[in-house]
Amino acid sequence: MDLTAQSERVSTTGRDGEWWRGAVIYQIYPRSFFDSNGDGIGDLPGITARLDYVASLGVDAIWLSPFFTSPMRDFGYDVSDYRGVDPIFGTLEDFDALMDRAHALGLKVLIDQVYAHTSDEHAWFLESRSSRSNAKADWYVWADAKPDGSPPSNWQSVFTGPAWTWDARRGQYYMHNFLPSQPQLNVHNGEVQEALLDTVRFWFDRGVDGMRLDAVNFMMHDPALTDNPPVRDGVGRRTRPFDFQHHYYNQSHADIPAFLERIRALTDSYEGRFLVAEVGGEQAQDEMKVYTRPPARLHSAYGFLYLYAEALRADLVREAVALWPDDERTGWPSWTFSNHDAPRAVSRWADEEMRKPFADMALLLLLAMRGNVILYQGEELGLPQAVVPFERLQDPEAIANWPQTLGRDGARTPIPWKRSAAHGGFSAAEPWLPVDARHFDLAVDAQENDPESTLNHARRLVRLREAHPVLRTGDMAVREGGDPEVLVFERGRGDEALLCVFNLAPEAKAWTLPAGWRVIDQVNLTGADKGLPPYAGLIAKRG
């Protein structure tokens, strides 16, 4: 794989102050990107070794999922040292080398930060649980049992059942929205806020360009420990106790925005830094707007509107556009179709025999939308959701809810670099998750020299977005009417406007390019005057 010619890509955005607005961000899941030392787990030097490839995609930035010191019960989202690199990934010096190489290639670097909870092995929690009177006694959410010994409230955790675990040292329950090994920080506490802000300073001082803030709406709870109301019968799919409640009180407290303003003020003291939040749950659409309200809160946010959608429909895109109007009170959106927490979109939204045309069309659609684009590793290869046998599952959520949910492991399997190599060239050893047999033919080297490969479509389409500023930051207006499986929208206005058209169905649709428009790029199109083939997409301009 020779990417030397592209290895010194220099950013041409000219927008260092707001480089992130409309940017394409490539998410890297470090455990599964590239293993440099043959232990079956991806690492920071492995990422550095493959940054030329990432730069060849034309993206603006990389986002690294957690690489911090952790017992890995939730694969890094249970942090035991916010400022350390876990030995399985390397060292702080390895991170510095990665960042230096990324910057040399014109790539910004974002890191994941988890401020709602820590690992139960974090030094803060070890001290907090030691007594009710120590200096960090109030750094986590502790509460007495009810008179009958039951937990303080009816709150349920995302993964396992009750959101409370008894701790005999303190003679109290501690709260955890996720695993029992992920105790909830008491972010209402001013000292906790200062400690988290010190962590922000540490990484910005080290040169990172931005942060993705995990589970932002889980940062603060209702101190009164009010019970959550039940979801009325027959609403939604229930695979976990968590699904039986409205989560009004264990999360989403009204004081969260004030803390986000403190993070933003600190971030603004550094030049060109960027903050994007992950916000999930039933109130996410409103919360994202609250958390990103200009000018003092986060720059952007993304939710699970697409990540958990069972089908890609025109009305879904219309709903997404309506959520983020271009006005002074609304922040800037970020969009992703796939990530480490959801089954890959190509498997959720298309049948296997239509995987390739759908993957190409979905890339064009994602890159044509207003907002930031977050491209998950392997999406540019058109990877389907991997099949992971039960005995190889690693994800605690997948194991707990098997076989009712697909879990997250199938989206976290190793990237295939070489079609004919053992383990797809990811590692010399058996990987921590197996490489799906279907992924070998989609390896990077198998697609590299094929102009019609999904990989080379992705490169071309990222360049298209860069070449037309209206695709990065212009208006977006969805046209009403017509076939519900044909999505039509415009980006920008007047002579600079672009017309974007997508057939979201696996069968052909009748459609004619309006007079005065000409196609400038397309996927799966055989001629706009002959209708739209299955999963066809095009972008046209006037003239």
Distance CA 303, CA 277 (A): 8
Distance CA 90, CA 95 (A): 8
194 is catalytic: no
Q: Specify the DSSP class assigned to residue 86.
A: -
**Which tokens in the block code for residue 481?**
């009417």
Marked catalytic residue, from 35, 43, 278, 380: 278
Residue type (1 letter), 222: D
Dihedrals phi, psi of 295, to nearest 5 degrees: -100, 0
Residue 248 structure tokens? 């009004």
Is 452 a catalytic site residue? Answer: no
Do residues 177 and 218 make contact, with C-beta atoms less than 8 angstroms apart?
A: yes
CB atoms within 10 A of CB 60: 25
Close Cβ partners of 345 (under 8 Å, ≥ 6 residues apart): 306, 312, 337, 338, 362, 379
User: Which among 52, 78, 86, 214 is annotated as catalytic?
Assistant: 214
Give the DSSP H/E element, type plus range, for residue 289: helix 284-291
Contact (Cβ atoms closer than 8 angstroms) between residue 81 and residue 119? no
CB distance 516 to 497 below 8 Å: no
Question: How far apart are the C-alpha atoms of 358 and 347, rounded to whole Å?
Answer: 10
Helix (H) or strand (E) holding 538: strand 537-542
330: left (phi over 0), alpha (psi -120 to 50) or beta: beta
Query: Smallest Cα–Cα separation from 9: which of 89, 84, 86, 103?
Result: 103
- The CA distance from 446 to 176, in Å, is 44
- Looking at this protein, which amino acid is placed at residue 433? L
Nearest to 263 by CA among 203, 184, 196: 196
- Positions annotated as catalytic residues are 214, 278
